[in-house]
């Protein structure tokens, strides 16, 4: 278990075919090394995917771990837990107890066999009342769609030794996420659509005087074709986000 404390070694053992791109690597390293990480990100840049990986790493690589995920509504947690489920199903080593693995999976509550303390749980708490009391040797709060989450959720996370707040950078009325994003802190990782490896390659080809090939380097991330379509059809606010 000690060797699995390195998230990239952990990834290599269970998902050797998964390759995170540079911004996702920054997020993983920041959650490992910092108490708080804020990620204002464009649409379809793999933020839920990397958050799902971090949740499973946090649960499995630490002896006593409590991970809480939350969002503005249940639908958003469904996306995150869908990614968590995809990692569990695609692992090279069995993870679910039905397949001989260490995880008991019950909807949005995942526990480790023989461990009465640790859990990975998804919960929606509009004003933060369910966010208190998840103390553990290792603890992580993952806040999805953070621009819409109430300050009280963040304020009641003092138990969390690590916080990952992700979301599209919509105007948030000055909530904790918007304040952090505007603060200029080193633990703010911005991801633009142009950071997609697919879009970045096309932009580099253009800069070199070549016609973009539209090659997909990283599946599931915004493509050059999608990027171009958004620039043509989205309004100024959507493009900015």
The pLDDT tens digits for 163-219 are: 999 999 888 788 999 999 999 888 999 999 999 999 999 999 999 999 999 999 999
Q: What is the pLDDT of residue 214?
A: 95
Q: Which pair of structure tokens corresponds to residue 28?
A: 């993983």
pLDDT recorded at residue 185 = 85
Q: Contact at 8 Å (CB) between 67 and 121?
A: yes
Chain position carrying tokens 């107890």 = 97
Residue found by looking up tokens 């920041």 in the block: 30
User: Whose CA is closest to 102, among 60, 55, 57?
Assistant: 60
Average pLDDT over residues 42-61: 97
Q: What confidence tens digit (pLDDT) does each residue in 1-45 have?
A: 556 789 999 999 999 999 999 999 999 999 999 999 999 999 999
* Model confidence at 127: pLDDT above 80: no
Report d(CA 227, CA 75) in Å as an integer: 25
**Structure confidence at residue 225 as a pLDDT band (50, 70, 90):** very high
Contact 103, 124 (CB under 8 A): no
Give the torsion sign (CA, 89, 99, 120, 24): negative
Percent of all residues in the chain with a pLDDT value above 90, rounded to a whole number: 82
Which one, of 136, 122, 164, 135, lies nearest residue 62 by Cα? 136
pLDDT tier at 131, thresholds 50, 70, 90: confident
What was the pLDDT predicted at 5? 87
- Maximum C-alpha span of the chain: 60
């Amino acid at each position: 278990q000690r060797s699995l404390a390195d998230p990239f070694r952990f990834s290599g053992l269970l998902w050797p075919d998964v390759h995170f791109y540079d911004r996702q690597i920054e997020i993983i390293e920041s959650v490992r090394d910092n108490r708080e990480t804020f990620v204002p990100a464009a649409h379809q840049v793999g933020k839920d995917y990397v958050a799902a990986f971090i949740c499973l790493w946090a649960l499995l690589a630490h002896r006593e771990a409590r991970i809480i995920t939350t969002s503005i509504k249940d639908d958003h947690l469904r996306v995150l837990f869908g990614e968590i489920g995809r990692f569990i199903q695609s692992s090279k080593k069995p993870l679910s107890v039905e397949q001989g693995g260490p995880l008991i999976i019950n909807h949005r509550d995942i526990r480790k066999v023989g461990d009465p303390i640790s859990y990975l749980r998804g919960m929606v708490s509009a004003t933060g009342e369910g966010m208190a009391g998840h103390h553990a040797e290792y603890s992580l709060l993952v806040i999805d769609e953070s621009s819409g989450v109430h300050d009280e959720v963040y304020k009641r996370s003092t138990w969390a030794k690590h916080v990952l707040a992700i979301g599209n950078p919509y105007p948030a009325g000055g909530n904790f996420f918007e304040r952090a994003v505007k603060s200029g802190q080193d633990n703010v990782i911005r991801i633009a659509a142009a950071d997609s490896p697919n879009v970045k390659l096309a932009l580099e080809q253009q800069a070199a005087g070549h016609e973009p090939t539209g090659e997909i380097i990283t599946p599931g991330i915004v493509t050059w074709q999608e990027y171009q379509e958004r620039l043509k059809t989205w309004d100024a606010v959507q493009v900015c986000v």
